[in-house]
């Protein structure tokens, strides 16, 4: 599996997706709500309990997997052009 991690971590959208892929299964899998996370102790105990639950851990892993894989390429590696990049590629703008 070849992934251009340096460029991916320059993208704030990727970082947000990765954070959600880890945090949301933890919170939802334990039946907690954001309103329940009012102290660091509450958050810590929720995380500890969630990591002991195989369903939550598998949900986290599959969510992270979905963030990492590029559906525009075959397999699980980045494309050759993506691997060669050192900076984020700009968005394509369709001319009128």
Q: How far is CA 24 from CA 1, 15, 53, 72, in A?
A: 26, 14, 14, 25
- pLDDT higher at 91 or 68: 68
What pLDDT, on a 0 to 100 scale, did the predictor assign at position 95? 66
For 24-72, the pLDDT digits (tens) are 898 888 888 878 889 999 888 888 999 999 999 999 999 999 999 988 8
- What local confidence, expressed as pLDDT, does residue 28 receive? 86
**Section 16-26 average pLDDT:** 92
Instruction: Report domain extents, the chain.
Output: 5-70
> Which of 2-11, 18-27, 46-55, 85-94 has the least mean pLDDT?
85-94
Q: According to DSSP H, which parts of the chain are helical?
A: 5-8, 12-29, 40-51, 54-68, 80-84
């Amino acid at each position: 599996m070849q992934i251009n991690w340096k460029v991916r971590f320059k993208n704030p959208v990727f970082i947000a997706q990765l954070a959600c892929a880890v945090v949301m299964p933890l919170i939802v899998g334990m039946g907690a709500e954001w309103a329940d996370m009012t102290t660091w102790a509450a958050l810590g105990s929720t995380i500890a309990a969630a990591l002991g639950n195989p369903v939550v851990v598998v949900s986290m892993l599959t969510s992270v997997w979905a963030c990492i894989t590029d559906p525009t390429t075959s397999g699980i590696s980045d494309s050759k052009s993506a691997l060669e990049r050192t900076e984020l590629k700009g968005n394509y703008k369709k001319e009128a």
